Amino acid sequence: MQKKKGFTLIELLLTICIISIISSAMAAGITSYFKTRNKYEARFTQNCILGVISNAKQYCREKNKYGDVVFDLSANEIYFKSDFSIKDKFYLPKNVKLSGVSNYNKKIEINNRGIISGDACTITLKDLSGNLYYITVCVGSFYVEIK
């Protein structure tokens, strides 16, 4: 009797089943990772925007100057300018898009006492999954809220 070298059909099916189980578990883990990463990048971006606004208010208060936090939707960036020059700039991550600003001139005006003096607004961000994130800015106070 001669022994033939090779794999039986059962061995091949068992190997394919094991590989498919492992790959489906990895796919579920990768999907979960990307959803979590999108959410945390959007939250990080919200906090960075709050930081730009807070720094702008502090600068105006300390230097006794007026300034604007401008939202450039097409370039997906935010910058603070005072005395016709840009003092601070923040580029949003590629995974987060600046979706909209609810006031007509797309900027927050800050007076020389560090108080928001222009229009109130809501800043809208969108992540890769299409989830929306909001930041609400009130006028005449120091109130800024992440929703």
- 46-98 confidence digits (pLDDT tens): 999 999 999 999 999 999 999 999 999 999 999 999 998 999 999 998 889 99
First-residue to last-residue Cα distance in the chain: 77
Strands 107-110 and 96-101: unpaired
Reported as a pLDDT band with limits 50, 70 and 90, residue 1 is low
Position 142 pLDDT exceeds 70: no
pLDDT at 144: 72
Of 6-15, 24-33, 106-115, 135-144, the range with the lowest mean pLDDT is: 135-144
pLDDT at 34: 87
- Cα separation, 124 vs 141, in Å, equals 20
Q: What is the pLDDT of residues 19-45, one digit of tens each?
A: 999 998 888 888 888 888 888 999 999
Which residue's entry shows tokens 């840009």? 86
pLDDT at 68: 93
- The verdict on domain 9-146 having CATH code 3.30.360.10 is no
pLDDT at 89: 92
Reported as a pLDDT band with limits 50, 70 and 90, residue 143 is low
Position 118 pLDDT exceeds 90: no
- Cα separation, 111 vs 13, in Å, equals 72
Between residues 5 and 40, the one the model is more confident about: 40
pLDDT at 71: 93
